[in-house]
Structure 1
Amino acid sequence: MAKENTVWHKVLDNKNDLPEGRVKTVTAAHKGICLTHFEGKFSALDNKCPHQGGPLGEGSIENGLLRCPWHGWDFHPCTGLPPGGYDDGVETFAVKEEDGAIYVGLEAEAPHDTTVSDLMVETMINWGVTTVFGMVGHSNLGFADAMKRQEQQGNLNFYGIRHEGAGAFAASAYGKLTGKPAACFSIAGPGATNMYTGMWDAKVDRAPLLALTGQVATQVVGTGNFQEVDLVQAFGSVAEFNHRVQSDSRHVELMSLAVKHAILKRDVSHLTFPDEVQEKKANPRARAKTPEKRMTSLEIAPPASAVEDAIALIKKSKRPVIVMGHGARTHKKRVVQFAERLNAAVVTTFKGKGLIPDNHPLGGGVLGRSGTPIASWFMNESDLLIVFGASFSNHTGITPKKPIIQVDFDPLALSKFHKVEVAVWGEISRTLEIFEAELKGKTDTLDQRPEIAERWKIWKAEKAKRLQETSEKGISSIAVFDAMNKLTPENAVMCVDVGNNAYSFGRYFESKNHDFLMSGYLGSIGFALPASIGAWTAVGDTRPVVAVAGDGGLCQYLAEITTLVKYKMPIKLIVLNNHELGKISKEQRAGEFDVWKTSLSNPNFADFALSCGAWGKRVTDQAKLKSAMQELFEESGTGVLEIITDVDLI
């Protein structure tokens, strides 16, 4: 008998869709229902078996009884009562038939009670984390439900990816590009451990990131429960802020501190949510937090003694060269203005590629193994190196044989590998403001612009010679990047993978108004495609996003092409396919090892893209390369250009 406040929900459009003697799971509002058709009658039972929660709608009617699919307990298909007079039956609900359709009657749903997850998600959004990449699963459903409500209100964007590792890389790329944290989200156990590599990528490249993981119920932690991993312990080395959310935690304060640590430390924060906490009703007096009056200015002025020593060196210099690393990315305009006052060449690390355009009169390109001979020439001809936000990695090769002024916001980064003449601890723009005031009218440097133009002329002539090298095995990387130089939108965000494709990219691609994202210190293969997801969510349709990958890297997260298509991301992916882990083969030869296990068997990437719903094209003929690339950049949606290349022409 239906009650007065019963709400009727259509669960079956046509009663003939459920034959006599069959059962199925249906949903009425948010309630899971086991709908049965037995002895000519339709009945509705609670879909959860009272013992282990087994879905009764996935069971079957045997010998006149509904059998639970998980542990075989029997219930009457109409009354929900077990045989034998036991008191562990299941609840039943009113059913009616109208015009051949079946309806189930339920009491009107009560208004949603605010949960701990609701307040923590609202707090996260208040602190500026409005982009989440992840997978929804059985141990994070309560927190996911809270994010759903915020997305429905237009406050949050959630992107469902195909692998949690891709979600972490996307969040890392978002942080590198914007300086603000995005979140990656997973279930307990394997979902969380899949995020580990991307979390490390963010950590070592000083990108803010918030990792959110589900967790098994607290009562079974330590018992070897299904998918139980101690995530606080597992992430202890990667997360600067790392906590399990408990029932008695100060929930909104935990979220505030997690985001605050990620922003101010430029590091990884991690919160894990046991199952029972996610749906816990919040204290009626609790309110979401905001960052108001919780953040300090980071405009740190350097010590006076360091400024004095730096100014003395700059005044004496005739041929200063400025080196910009990734840490200077938010100060690049100020650094370039400083260079223009000093007439100083500006070179960058590979991670800092594009912080000054290559066509700028003072731009000297990239230093190091992925760089140009222009940059190394100016470094070696200098009488002073002024280094902003660089880490002095071996890959970059900043020489310690020249006098060095190093400016960085992180005191531990100063003189990290060897002593420098002047270590300046301070925020870069604030430091430059002081430098400029102290140096006004007091420098006597040579104008290096004519030399820079001459060195670029020499390097472009060398590239033109290399462009003539051809092969029957495939197109040269030089030709690929020559075409990209001519056709790539000048303001694109470029996401670069690891491998020979990255070395050729750094060497041959000429930056204009581009931003570049790469897996720098970690050097993780597979970065480019998921990074492009993070980049697009940051810039939307205001800028083009281009990913450049090798065949080895692309295959690691190949399924994410479906993510690009699902969310209509107009990302352009260029894959250099040489059927080999070419960089590893090169290292094996350099180490005087045999080349072993580096050959690859690949799909046709263009056909794969087409099967996913994207634009795809394969190029094997260099004469058709530019026209195919032009097609790629004219395509309005997701596009994949596969180029068959020669592994030896890099």
Structure 2
Amino acid sequence: MSTSWHRVATTDVPGEGRVRTAVVDGRSVALARCGGRLGALENRCPHQGGPLGEGSIENGWLRCPWHGYDYDPLTGTPPEGFSDAPAAFPTEERADGTWVALPDLPAHVRTVGDVVVETLINWGVDRVFGMVGHSNLGVAEAMRRAEERGELSYVGIRHEGAAAFAASAYGKLTGRPAACLAIAGPGSTNLLTGLYDAKVDGAPVIALSGQVPSSALGRGAFQDLDLNAAFRDVSVSTATLHAASDHGELISAAVKHALDGRGVAHLVLPDEVQVQPSDAEPGRPDGRLANRRTQPSPDSVADAAVLVRGARRPIIVAGHGARAAVGPLTALAERLGAPVLTTFKAKGLIPDDHELAAGVLGRSGTPVASWLMNESDLVIVVGASFSNHTGIASYKTLIAIDDDPAAIGRFTPVAVGVLGDAGLGLTALDAAIGADPAAVDQRSDVAARRALWRAEKERRAADDRGRGLPAAAVFDVLSRLAPADAVFTVDVGNHAYSFGRYLESKGQPVLMSGYLGSIGFGFPAAMGAWAADPSRPVIAVTGDGGFGQYLAELTTAVKYRMPIKHVLFDNGSLGKIGKEQRAGQFPEWQVSLVNPDFAAYARLCGAGGETVRTRGEIEPAMARMLAAEGPYLLHVVQDAELV
């Protein structure tokens, strides 16, 4: 085997009786000096892989720091009676420095890890959020090489929960899966909350778990957990790659499951399998996916059309499942003069300045939407879940249009269920209604109710108790200044209710932890939105409680130069929980928070940051935030009661 000489950094050369780890030509070497001579050994004990460079010289022997085995520090030879030894490398101390001769690196041998990554890329999964560690190093190396080729983008996070939230947000925004990567044991279990968010909101995600070596599996080894069992409930599929598996096919099947099932596909990658040589072909998506845009049955459309033709005050409630059907939905609304109410998850589906836009319905909604719901005689629900938070009145005559049969009648019986693609269903319904439906034009009602609500918002924005800013004032400015092509991400808390009520949307999409309602989602989700389209503005809106769970991820945004603009509402408490305690006739307890100066924290992390306390400060500060080059945190000191 040919070798080459490499110079060692002066600071890595040990003194007499010392051993030190040196990185030479990208490789880890244990350098030791004993009896005036310098030795270089492979920095890996042949028994358990312990780092010999972290050991010590004792009585002329180099002792492994993990389990006390001894080696000659110059030659690697073990004591008499033992034969296993780390590789030793020639050294020379020359006038121009210290040199080590290392074997030339062999050509890369394609591995199972390469098959995994190549298959993911073939399926369009080219964004990964995760943490590299001892049990996923093989697949991580394959990702590194793919990133070097320009085929993949990797974001190294500070906590695996943030990786799962970011991947979930990516799936919600694009309809395509990103991947999240973790090690065995706690790294993988840290993914679960974010993956449950993806599960219940129908976002495709690929979760990759490193695993202890197959030989140790099931024997109670360090970080040995049954990950397939742990992930079985959260995932639409979970599988382990074994040495003899068809690795490309398993990865292809996982991505297909994530897309078909709109959920999490989980893969377990044992440590030794990842680096196993492989000449297998990577999997490809050709011919593996069906067109989901199914036409509804003519009978269901005809039944729905009869109800619409006879309704005087129909309204349309648009859920997240209607996002790809904005054109047909708006066309039907305009023909009927029917107001469009949205669920919170669908906020921004049509701009709030549209003459039929009534805003959000439900707990985070407006009195405009609730009034129109009360006055309606027919409710056309498109792509919504009917959950208890949506505010859809169960006593109304209901038409449900959805491509998921489980969503139709899940909570509330409907008069007509139209199963099929939302856009195709709306187009067919529009055609089937025919000329001269009985609906009255409700544009004037919408305008009158919006005028009342805007006057009330102006009064709330002017409130001042001397204890911080009212939420209405902040969202008034954000409504006017936020770019029309921005993506909003919202956390859970009082600020989210205020966002739903007060923000005047220009049609920007909103990402939230919808049905899981997980605090901490907001900032990691902004990282996912940035990864989906780095050229698009991303604005995170969080509270102090939610951001506190993942505030270290601000350093991730700085590291990758993510220009996330972050509006942080700080009321010094878990305000939503305090309100719930009081509403239940309980005293507030354990909801107060000790917060840092968030703007100063942002600056310490390398981001921009400033604090606003008065109405006069909001607009210029928000303008500076939106114009800034990189990540920026606007710390809003908020009155906890003015939400």
1:137 equivalent in structure 2: 133
Q: Please say if 1:448 is aligned against 2:448.
A: no
Distance 1:88 1:115 in 2: 27
Pick which of 601-610 and 620-629 moved more: 620-629
Distance 1:567 1:36 in 2: 38
The question of whether the paired residues in 2 share the 8 Å contact of 1:325 and 1:352 is answered with yes
Pick from 396, 399, 408: which aligns with 2:402?
408
Per the alignment, in what secondary structure is the counterpart of residue 351 of structure 1? Answer: helix
After TM superposition, give the deviation of residue 293 of structure 1 in Å.
Answer: 1.1
Distance 1:50 1:121 in 2: 29
The question of whether the paired residues in 1 share the 8 Å contact of 2:408 and 2:417 is answered with yes
1:69 equivalent in structure 2: 65
The question of whether the paired residues in 1 share the 8 Å contact of 2:165 and 2:525 is answered with yes
2:336 equivalent in structure 1: 342
The question of whether the paired residues in 2 share the 8 Å contact of 1:15 and 1:100 is answered with no
The question of whether the paired residues in 1 share the 8 Å contact of 2:302 and 2:429 is answered with no
Distance 2:177 2:95 in 1: 53
Distance 1:253 1:276 in 2: 19
Using structure 1 for the length normalisation, give the TM-score: 0.97
Distance 2:12 2:200 in 1: 60
Q: Deviations over 1:282-303 (max 9, x none)?
A: 1x3x211211111111111112
Q: Deviations over 1:440-475 (max 9, x none)?
A: 435342222222111111110111122221112111
Query: Matches of residues 3-22 of structure 1 in structure 2 within 5 Å?
Result: 5-10=2-7, 12-14=8-10, 17-22=13-18
Distance 1:468 1:143 in 2: 56
Q: Deviations over 1:537-592 (max 9, x none)?
A: 11212x21000111111100000000110000111111110101111111011111
Distance 1:198 1:13 in 2: 43
Distance 1:94 1:302 in 2: 75
AA aligned to 2:479 is N
- Matched length: 643
Pick which of 556-565 and 316-325 moved more: 316-325
Using structure 2 for the length normalisation, give the TM-score: 0.98
The question of whether the paired residues in 2 share the 8 Å contact of 1:211 and 1:271 is answered with yes
Query: Matches of residues 270-281 of structure 1 in structure 2 within 5 Å?
Result: 270-281=266-277
Pick which of 84-93 and 169-178 moved more: 84-93
Q: Please say if 1:428 is aligned against 2:419.
A: no
Distance 2:87 2:253 in 1: 44
The question of whether the paired residues in 2 share the 8 Å contact of 1:529 and 1:557 is answered with yes
- Give the root-mean-square deviation of aligned CA atoms: 1.4
Distance 1:531 1:19 in 2: 49
Pick from 631, 638, 644: which aligns with 2:624?
631
Pick which of 630-639 and 481-490 moved more: 481-490
After TM superposition, give the deviation of residue 79 of structure 1 in Å.
Answer: 1.7
Instruction: Structure 1: state its 5+ residue gaps.
Output: none
Distance 2:238 2:10 in 1: 52
After TM superposition, give the deviation of residue 437 of structure 1 in Å.
Answer: 2.9
The question of whether the paired residues in 2 share the 8 Å contact of 1:14 and 1:100 is answered with no
Q: Please say if 1:488 is aligned against 2:482.
A: yes
AA aligned to 1:571 is I
Pick from 537, 545, 550: which aligns with 1:552?
545
Query: Matches of residues 118-517 of structure 1 in structure 2 within 5 Å?
Result: 118-282=114-278, 284=279, 286-517=280-511
The question of whether the paired residues in 2 share the 8 Å contact of 1:354 and 1:516 is answered with yes
AA aligned to 2:6 is H
Distance 1:45 1:16 in 2: 14
Distance 2:297 2:40 in 1: 75
After TM superposition, give the deviation of residue 83 of structure 1 in Å.
Answer: 2.6
Distance 2:366 2:147 in 1: 46
AA aligned to 1:643 is V
Distance 2:454 2:605 in 1: 39
Pick from 634, 637, 641: which aligns with 1:644?
637
Per the alignment, in what secondary structure is the counterpart of residue 625 of structure 1? Answer: helix
After TM superposition, give the deviation of residue 62 of structure 1 in Å.
Answer: 1.9
Per the alignment, in what secondary structure is the counterpart of residue 196 of structure 2? Answer: helix
Per the alignment, in what secondary structure is the counterpart of residue 558 of structure 1? Answer: coil
Per the alignment, in what secondary structure is the counterpart of residue 309 of structure 1? Answer: helix
AA aligned to 2:155 is Y
After TM superposition, give the deviation of residue 341 of structure 1 in Å.
Answer: 2.3
The question of whether the paired residues in 2 share the 8 Å contact of 1:13 and 1:100 is answered with no
AA aligned to 2:554 is I
AA aligned to 1:9 is H
Distance 1:73 1:203 in 2: 48
Distance 2:607 2:426 in 1: 47
The question of whether the paired residues in 1 share the 8 Å contact of 2:12 and 2:20 is answered with no
Q: Deviations over 1:328-368 (max 9, x none)?
A: 11222331122222221111001111101110111110001
Distance 1:526 1:68 in 2: 42
Distance 1:539 1:173 in 2: 12
Per the alignment, in what secondary structure is the counterpart of residue 600 of structure 2? Answer: helix
Pick which of 528-537 and 461-470 moved more: 461-470
Pick which of 472-481 and 135-144 moved more: 472-481
The question of whether the paired residues in 2 share the 8 Å contact of 1:203 and 1:238 is answered with yes
Distance 1:527 1:510 in 2: 22
Pick which of 334-343 and 471-480 moved more: 334-343
AA aligned to 2:109 is D
Q: CA separation of 1:85/1:15 partners in 2, compared to 1, >3 Å: closer, same or farther? A: farther
After TM superposition, give the deviation of residue 15 of structure 1 in Å.
Answer: 7.6
After TM superposition, give the deviation of residue 152 of structure 1 in Å.
Answer: 0.5
Instruction: Structure 2: state its 5+ residue gaps.
Output: none
2:577 equivalent in structure 1: 584
2:525 equivalent in structure 1: 531
Per the alignment, in what secondary structure is the counterpart of residue 637 of structure 1? Answer: coil
The question of whether the paired residues in 2 share the 8 Å contact of 1:140 and 1:187 is answered with yes
After TM superposition, give the deviation of residue 501 of structure 1 in Å.
Answer: 0.5
Distance 1:576 1:302 in 2: 45
Distance 1:513 1:407 in 2: 22
After TM superposition, give the deviation of residue 31 of structure 1 in Å.
Answer: 3.9
Q: Please say if 1:23 is aligned against 2:19.
A: yes
The question of whether the paired residues in 1 share the 8 Å contact of 2:13 and 2:98 is answered with no
After TM superposition, give the deviation of residue 433 of structure 1 in Å.
Answer: 2.8
